[in-house]
Amino acid sequence: MITSSTLSTPSFIAASSPKETADIVLINANIHTVDDNIPWAKAVAIRSGRFMAVGNKEDVTPFIGDHTKVIDLEGRFVMPGLYDMHTHPDLALAPGYADYLNIGLEDPTPEEVKQAILDYADSHPGDGWVYGQYFVRYTFKQAGLVADRDWLDSFMPDRPVAILDRSWGCMMVNSRALALANITAETQDPRHGYIERDSITHEPSGILVDGAYAIIHATMPPTPQHALTRAYREGLHFQSGHGVVGTKYVHVCEHRLNALRSLDQDGKLSVRVEAAISWQDDIFPVKRRWELLAGERHYYRSNRLNANAVKFHFDGTHESRSSYLSTPWPGEKNWRGHLNLTPEHIVDMVVDMDRKGIRVIAHCTGDGASDIFLDAVAQARARNGNSGVRHQCAHSTTLLDTNLARFKALDVTAEFSPVGWFPSSFANARAVFGEERMQRAYNFKGVIEAEGNAVMGTDWPVSSLNPWIGFEAMITRQNPFGEEEGQFFGQPISLEQAIRVMTINGAWCMGIEQHAGSISIGKSADLIVLDRDLFDIAIKGNLHATQVELTLLEGEVTWDRMGAFTDTDMAATWQEPLPAF
Amino acid sequence: MSQQHSIPVTLVAGFLGAGKTTLLNHLLNSDHGRRMAVMVNDFGAINIDSQLIVSQTQTTVSLANGCICCTVEGDLIAQLSTLLADPQTRPEHLIIEASGVSNPVKIANTLRYPQFRQSLHIDGILTVVDAAQFDDLDSDMTRLATEQLDAADIIILNKTDLLTPDQRTALKSRWLYPNARVIESEHGVVPLALLLGVERKTTAEPVSPDGRHTPALTAPTTTFETFKAVPHQHDSLFNTWSWQSDIPLNLKALRNVMASLPAAIYRAKGICHVAEARDQRCILHLVGTRCEITPAGPWKGATPGTQLIVIGKRGAIDANTLRTLLEACHDESNLGVVID
């Protein structure tokens, strides 16, 4: 320990000495630094992944040497890279890449379903699962058949089969699948679902409804590694191409961490990733949760990757009126929504995780849920002192005004997801909290004015992985695409505030604001070059369409649409066109 | 365990404009003598006769006959829990309109969740089909149509008067399935006994321990079996038969018979003595193409026996055929014992 700290001091001084030359120098730029000491600059010099100079051309010229790559940005706008603090590329993409059975017909007849299962089994020999989609119960009715285990057993008795119904109303499994999952007459029904059974013998029929899928998923092999890796790779590619330098993939398991680690080792982790271990097995089973939380998570740690967080759904959703509110839902006498964990559970968990140095990211859509979460963090602070762990209130759709100041006081991040910030049929359908609550929905402004830390998360696939859409909408609260007129509920924030939300606030939320999040001397050389000056455009209808010309993370070129580094040894991590999601 | 009765639920599905609201109106305004709750998307669309309205809030309309009508908002689970928890609003029969754009299978699945198992059961799922609009659907609508038809226990085919006989045949061959129970109607007016499985409540009906209404039955007879048409106040289009037997029935055979009943039979209900569950009274509940046979507690001194009532289209059912079918369910291993 002593050795490493004595070594690091001289190296830092050397990095800022004019005798050292820069790897990259950007000149003739219009740089919004998000650093109050030097808010605007024209040039930067980068060496070994850090900014060694920020200022005018004359400040960087002394660092230009024979091997320095000097780029004239011709007045282009530059700002720190973006932070997307809540998203799910794996959930959005991996199932589609898993090579599961896809019958691919709109109305397959039972005979077609049978043939597809047999063909899949032939092309995937062995005793593995035949899992996929879809069958249509109606076509069974038309054929005078019953969709159940007996039907599947009649042609595939020895190999586990699980086929989803087209409308996701149920899953049909055979006897082998039931046996592997240990689903018998005695098995208890899950929450929010059931095992269809014979009314007299209670033997399972092979039809599983809603929550009962999880029993099969827990038995099946995890989503294949190649599918998870591909999903994350494409997600990272898209994010780098949109200027993201820091992100959180919330809900991971050991397999997802392995996929992220393999990308990290391949040099493809082009965004800093905080991966939050799922606290909930109904999303996907996390078989090594307790080993991970006890310390196995450190195995994955690098300067780009950490798994020092947990994620769970503390309450429900808008659509199902299960968000947990501080007072009853509109039109209800008693119904306040639903908590998935008891308040006691959350207090013990937050105190325990906080003590371990693990960030708790709690999905709280209702103002009652975030209230209880903040209480739990207060308990943790009271019992553990300030551990330095900044917990995160995810979505924060509605917050109590009385809680706004607590974000600052308790060092909790208020994270907002942009899906409902602008008028659209989707957002309008979700605006169900009642007029009074909706007026203070997505209260960035309230949190920021109370000096708390507010960030955004795209929450893909709930909304687009493109962070620029929400970036625009938090400033306008209007539909970026002009599909619908008018301003949505809640208060817009200024461009300057929104830039901080997208940059330094994200770095704070990841606990790295001392090293990243602004264009400052000594900090990680993260920046993006844009095709437009955000201070010189009409925000509405324009900001969301911003093209990122260049993305640097730790001085590494992750995205280079302008081709500035093509054919150099600093060529961008991602060379192919952006994936279109 | 609570002695609360399980509430029968009728789910009404179908496209917008198919005639669901006409049907609901008919149900609400009929003289059924039950306290009904109707959950709809928008009661503005129901056009409730203002003379009947006793009180109204933003989400609930109370009617003079004790019925209430409320809007379904968001979480069905939450709303059902609230409705069932309050003795003031707890209905004797619940009708849920599945919106013209939602999938009734999902609602039916929710109603079968374990948390509702003691408090409610699906009596029937009725899908209302507008014969005139049904054969001209785009692909999304086709998918929803098949889901609605899949969920249906009984299909109510409305506005068939607008079709030629050829069109009617084509519609049926394209959309229906073997043994589908179809009631053709011009104005959504269908006898209550078929829709709800209840008659006007003139005399107290015996209620089984699990709360499911069982038909008014005569005391078990000593006769081996009977099968006869029962005179009834039904619409003249429908008829009711009853059948009794004290020989235990083979479960599989009984299920097979119920699954293959002629399409002219819409409902069957009663108590069964099933060989595979001899010590239990089993309730048989058949609505259209769905039949459930559910244990409902011990016989408690009553003589075990089967008593069924069957409702079907007048003139389309041969009592002898029905009797033969049901007799074939007698569990062979017990015949000797009974004859002795």
Q: How far apart are CA B304 and CA B283, in angstroms?
A: 12
Q: Output the CA angle B251-B254-B255, nearest 5 degrees.
A: 85
Closest residue in A to B57 (Cα–Cα): A331
pLDDT tens by residue, B242-288: 999 989 999 999 999 999 888 889 999 999 999 999 999 999 999 99
Residues A357 and A460 sit within 8 Å (Cβ to Cβ): no
Whole-number Å distance between alpha carbons of A530 and A562? 10
Q: In sequence order, what are the beta bridge partners of B70?
A: B39, B60
> pLDDT digits over A68-108, tens only?
999 999 999 999 999 999 999 999 999 889 999 999 888 89
Average pLDDT over residues A170-192: 93
Give pLDDT, residue A168: 66
Q: Please give the interface size between A and B, counted as residue pairs whose CB atoms are below 8 Å apart.
A: 96
User: How high is the ipTM of this complex?
Assistant: 0.74
Read out DSSP for B164-200? -HHHHHHHHHHH--TT--EEEESSS---HHHHHS---
Global pTM reads 0.74
- Give the pLDDT band (50/70/90) at residue B216: very low
What's the whole-number mean pLDDT along residues A183-194?
A: 88
The partner residues of A498 in beta bridges, in order of sequence, read none
- Please check the confidence at residue B221 and state whether its pLDDT lies above 80: no
Judge whether B146 and B230 are in contact, CB under 8 Å: no
Report CA-CA distances (Å) from B153 to A5, A130, A156, A390, B288: 76, 31, 30, 55, 5
A209 touches chain B (CB under 8 A): yes
Ranked by mean pLDDT, the top range of A237-241, B139-143, B255-259 is A237-241
Tokens of A500: 């901080």
A108 backbone dihedrals φ, ψ, rounded to 5°: -60, 135
pLDDT at B101 (0 to 100): 62
pLDDT score, position A316: 82
Residues of A in contact with B281 (CB under 8 A): none
B59 touches chain A (CB under 8 A): yes
Contacts of A137 in chain B (CB under 8 A): 105, 150
A529-581 pLDDT tens trace? 999 999 999 999 999 999 999 999 999 999 999 999 999 999 999 999 999 88
Query: Quick one: pLDDT at residue A419?
Result: 65
Higher pLDDT, B74 or B321: B321
Cα distances from A131 to residues A119, A216, A296, A466, B319, in angstroms, run 13, 10, 31, 31, 47
Judge: B149–A335 Cβ closer than 8 Å, yes or no: no
pLDDT at A18: 54
Backbone angles phi, psi at B276, to 5 degrees: -75, -10
| Chain A interface mutation, best of B80, B103, B109, B291, highest count of A Cβ atoms under 10 Å | B109
CB contact under 8 A, A136 and B146: yes
Start-end of H helices in A20-145: 57-60, 89-97, 110-123, 137-142
- Mean confidence (pLDDT) of chain A: 92
Inter-chain touch B113–A192, beta carbons under 8 Å? yes
Nearest to B294 among A192, A199, A321 (CB): A199
Question: If pLDDT is split at 50, 70 and 90, which confidence band does B201 have?
Answer: very low
The band of B211, judged by pLDDT with boundaries at 50, 70 and 90, is: very low
- Across the interface, which of B59, B114, B292 has its CB nearest the CB of A199? B292
Average pLDDT over residues A126-137: 93
Distance CA B14, CA A580 (A): 37
CA–CA min distance B139, chain A (Å): 9
Q: Residues A557-580, buried b or exposed e (16+ Cβ, 10 A)?
A: bbbbbbebbeeeebebbbeeebee
Alpha-helical regions (H) of B197-331: 251-259, 319-327
